Amino acid sequence: MNKGHGPLGDVLVIIPTYNEAENVESIVARVRKAAPQVHVLVADDNSPDGTGEIADRIAAEDSSVHVMHREGKQGLGAAYLAGFHWGIDHGYDVLCEMDADGSHQPEELPRLLTALRGADLVIGSRWITGGRVVNWPRRRQVLSRGGSTYARLLLGIPVRDVTAGYRAFRKETLIGLGMDDVASHGYCFQIDLTRRALAAGYRVVEVPVTFVERELGDSKMSRDIVAEAVWRVPAWGLRDRTRRMRRNRHN
């Protein structure tokens, strides 16, 4: 495997897909143009629309593109965890998350990687100065902002865009998070990794990005994804506070 070694080491961008036949070729091409030194892993959940086959064709033509075929739709978190393990097993030093639908601009990836030189986890944030969303309906903005505020207050963490899915991790950060016991699936997965990174003392940095609503294909947002966050976040908050109280008692 011929990897391009940059200042941070070897970089892998993980792109989970499910029925993204209209988007996968474009997003991979944009990543390869914006950051030619990085590799791409398409983690496809057995898409019935042929996304996996398109990804295979791209990989056959470009040795920097790899494809993971999974048995079926198991959720965003499971796809990323599988991708993280694949990347670590194959010797990558930095692992990035990116949506397949173009909402995460590949042209902003170098900004995240530059910030990672002084951090352990970099989050592309919509809700800090300089960040923004394009073509989002008002209710989606309210849901996203509200979800981040809800998690931030209940968990007592400073990150403004805690549900953001455009991220760059150092390999050591992911290993230190205890990935094997992560059970969250949807966007709650992002909250889980953020709180774990902060609790472990890793340096988490937000950089502003522009989030663009998808033009092709269907959104994967569902009520189940929202419901998972509603019950998991307070449970984590209670558990974390209990642990802190126990530590304080013993100190």
Q: pLDDT (tens digit, 9 = 90+) per residue, 75-132?
A: 889 999 999 999 999 999 999 999 999 999 999 999 999 999 999 999 999 999 999 9
Residue 8 has pLDDT above 70, yes or no: yes
In three-state secondary structure terms, 17 is strand
CATH fold of 11-250 reads Spore Coat Polysaccharide Biosynthesis Protein SpsA; Chain A (3.90.550)
Q: Which of 99, 109, 47 lies closest to 221, judged by CA?
A: 99
Helix axes 188-199, 138-155, angle to 10 degrees: 30
Please determine, for residue 7, whether its predicted confidence score (pLDDT) is greater than 90: no
pLDDT score for 36: 95
CA atoms within 13 A on the CB side of 110: 9
Determine the Cα–Cα distance for residues 217 and 25; give it in Å rounded to an integer. Answer: 13
What's the whole-number average pLDDT of the chain?
87
pTM comes to 0.86
Q: What CA–CA distance (Å, rounded) separates 110 from 77?
A: 24
Average pLDDT over residues 146-161: 86
Structure token digits, residue 142: 């309210």
Identify the band that residue 21 occupies on the pLDDT scale cut at 50, 70 and 90. Answer: very high
Kindly list the strands in the beta sheet with 94-97, ordered across the sheet, starting from the edge strand earlier in the chain: 65-69, 39-44, 11-17, 94-97, 167-170, 121-125, 204-208
Assess contact for 218 and 19: CB atoms under 8 A: yes
